[in-house]
Amino acid sequence: MRAFAAKHETTITNVALEALDVDNDPERSFREALVIRLKLNPEPTLVEKMFQVTDARVRSAEELGDPIRSQEIFDHLKARVEHRRSSGGPFTGAEATHAVAIILFNTDFRLIDVFPVAFSARELHLPGLHGRGDVLVDWERALFRRLNGGILE
């Protein structure tokens, strides 16, 4: 799952920022996470086509299930932002102000992987997925099209 996510990191990150509407409510990312359900493709030929997205939804901390584990996810996000701030330097994310939790769930083996992504205020208000020549109408369709099609940015 990590190799697949690494191949699609740009798409997954952009979709998470759009799905959580961080432009309008940056704090939302500390209350909700993007959950992407994946199933294995039979006999994939490329890492970027290893999984198919079957569902993608924004879930609140309460909807994630175990309250202790959910709280750990959001605490980890806050710690990641603090770590990036304290690490210093313009290329290490010292300007990070927020983060989003992206949860990948492999439905075949019931495996979960959490990817926290820190971002800064200057990364807000960037053109969304709609401004890149796609005729897609929402983040969910963009995610399905790109990940299921093995399209890399």
pLDDT (tens digit, 9 = 90+) per residue, 84-109? 777 765 545 557 778 899 999 999 99
Q: How much is the average pLDDT of 13-34?
A: 90
Check pLDDT > 50 for residue 121. yes
33 pLDDT higher than 80: yes
Residues 6+ apart with CB under 8 A from 74: 30, 31, 33, 61, 101
Instruction: Output the pLDDT for position 118.
Output: 83
pTM assigned to the model? 0.85
The packing angle between helices 139-149 and 9-19, to 10°, is 170
Mean pLDDT within 50-68: 94
* φ and ψ of 33, to 5 deg: -135, 155
R_g of the chain computed on alpha carbons: 15
CA distances to 28, 29, 33 from 62, in Å: 14, 14, 11
